[in-house]
C-alpha cells in the first residue's frame, strides 16, 4: 500500500529527471557516490519513515515529553529513530567522510528530510537539531572540537541543540546576558539561562551538546559582541565524562510538536 504522507514516485521523478541529481557524482567531492548509492539513500529514508517515524507519530502526539525529578522523558520511538538514523548514515548526510558523515549532496538531504518530516514532525526535531549543530561545528569549529563531538553526533549517540533565547530577551539577541569568562586552560566558564531549547534533554542521548550564545567578559554590547560556544552536558575530564553543571529545570510543551520537549 502506498504511503499517505509522501509520493515516492513523484519524489524520484523530481530527483532523477527534473534535477538530475546523479550528475553531481562527476565532481570530486561526490565521486564516492553513484546512481545506485543515491537510490539506496531514498530506500533507507523510506524504511525509517514507514517503520519508525510514521507509526509513532500519533503516540508522540498523545504522550507528551515529561519532566520529573530533574529528568526529561520522551517517547520510546526516539531511541529507535536516533539509532536508525545514525546507523544508516542519514543523520550525518551533510558531514564529511573523514568525520563519520555520508557527504551527500544537498538534493538528497532535502529529499530525505521531506519524507521523514512528513512522517513525524516531532521525531525529526531530534535528528534535525543534532545534524545542524554538528554541521556548524564541522564548518567553524577547531579540529579538536570536530574530533571530540562529530563522530558521536553523526552516530546518533549524542544530541545536538541550539541555545539562543533567554527569559528577559526573548528572541532579541541584542539583550542576552549569558556571560563567558576565560579560564587559564583556554576554556570558558559559561553562566546564563536559556529557554525554549528544543530536544535539549532526554533519556536516550549519552550526552547533550549545546551550541550556546554568550558574551565574553568585556565584549561589545549588542549582537557584535556575541560568541558561540560548545557546552556539553557532560565534559571529558581525565578520560572520564563528568557533570558539566548544565541543569534542566523544566520543559515547555509545544503545539503541534508535543513529542519534542522545549527545555529551560
Pair 133, 47 in one domain = yes
Pair 150, 196 in one domain = no
Which of 159, 185, 205 delimits the end of a domain? 159
Which of 159, 176, 205 delimits the end of a domain? 159
Pair 32, 126 in one domain = yes
Pair 152, 170 in one domain = no
pLDDT tens figures, 34-53: 888 888 898 999 999 999 99
What number is the average pLDDT over the span 109-116?
92
Pair 90, 16 in one domain = yes
Domain presence at residue 152: yes
Pair 253, 172 in one domain = yes
pLDDT tens figures, 167-179: 998 888 999 999 9
Which of 159, 190, 220 delimits the end of a domain? 159
Number of domains within the chain: 2
Q: What is the three-class DSSP state of 162?
A: strand
Domain presence at residue 1: no
Q: Enumerate the H helices of 141-179 as residue ranges.
A: 143-154
Q: Enumerate the H helices of the chain as residue ranges.
A: 8-13, 35-48, 54-62, 77-88, 106-119, 121-140, 143-154
Pair 171, 243 in one domain = yes
- The span from the CA of 56 to the CA of 259, in Å, is 10
Angle at 77 between CA 262 and CA 257, to 5 degrees: 35
Pair 153, 135 in one domain = yes
Pair 26, 144 in one domain = yes
pLDDT tens figures, 218-228: 999 999 999 99
pLDDT tens figures, 147-161: 999 999 999 999 999
Beta-bridge partners for 228: 213
Q: What confidence tier does 99 reach under pLDDT thresholds 50, 70, 90?
A: confident
Domain presence at residue 129: yes
Domain presence at residue 209: yes
Domain presence at residue 82: yes
Residue 153 zone, left/alpha/beta (φ > 0; ψ -120 to 50; rest): alpha
CATH of the domain at 66: 1.10.540.10
Domain presence at residue 110: yes
- Domain coverage including residue 227: 160-263
Pair 187, 126 in one domain = no
Say yes or no to pLDDT of 1 above 70.
no
- The mean pLDDT value of the chain amounts to 93
CATH of the domain at 240: 2.40.110.10
Say yes or no to pLDDT of 11 above 90.
no
- pTM as predicted: 0.93
Pair 147, 164 in one domain = no
- The span from the CA of 189 to the CA of 257, in Å, is 33
Domain presence at residue 95: yes
Domain presence at residue 3: no
Pair 172, 140 in one domain = no
Amino acid at each position: 500500500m502506498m504511503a499517505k504522507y509522501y509520493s515516492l514516485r513523484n519524489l524520484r521523478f523530481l530527483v532523477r529527471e527534473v534535477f538530475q541529481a546523479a550528475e553531481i557524482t562527476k565532481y570530486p567531492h561526490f565521486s564516492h557516490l553513484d546512481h545506485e548509492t543515491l537510490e539506496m539513500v531514498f530506500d533507507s529514508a523510506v524504511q525509517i519513515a514507514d517503520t519508525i517515524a510514521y507509526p509513532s507519530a500519533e503516540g508522540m502526539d498523545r504522550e507528551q515529553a515529561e519532566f520529573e525529578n530533574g529528568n526529561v522523558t520522551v517517547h520510546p520511538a526516539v531511541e529507535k529513530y536516533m539509532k536508525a538514523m545514525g546507523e544508516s548514515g542519514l543523520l550525518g548526510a551533510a558531514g564529511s567522510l573523514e568525520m563519520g558523515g555520508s557527504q551527500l549532496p544537498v538534493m538528497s538531504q532535502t529529499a530525505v528530510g521531506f519524507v521523514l518530516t512528513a512522517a513525524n514532525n516531532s521525531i525529526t526535531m531530534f535528528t534535525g537539531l543534532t545534524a545542524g549543530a554538528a554541521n556548524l561545528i564541522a564548518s567553524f569549529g577547531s579540529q579538536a572540537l570536530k574530533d571530540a563531538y562529530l563522530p558521536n553526533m553523526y552516530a546518533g549517540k549524542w544530541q545536538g541543540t541550539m541555545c539562543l533565547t533567554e527569559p528577559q530577551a526573548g528572541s532579541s539577541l541584542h539583550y542576552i546576558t549569558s556571560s563567558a569568562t576565560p579560564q587559564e586552560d583556554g576554556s570558558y566558564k559559561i553562566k546564563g539561562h536559556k529557554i525554549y531549547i528544543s530536544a535539549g534533554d532526554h533519556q536516550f542521548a549519552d550526552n547533550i551538546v549545546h551550541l550556546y550564545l554568550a558574551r565574553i567578559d568585556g565584549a561589545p554590547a549588542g549582537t557584535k559582541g556575541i560568541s558561540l560556544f560548545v557546552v556539553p552536558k557532560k565534559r571529558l575530564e581525565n578520560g572520564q565524562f563528568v557533570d558539566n553543571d548544565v541543569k534542566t529545570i523544566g520543559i515547555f510543551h509545544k503545539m503541534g510538536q508535543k513529542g519534542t520537549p522545549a527545555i529551560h
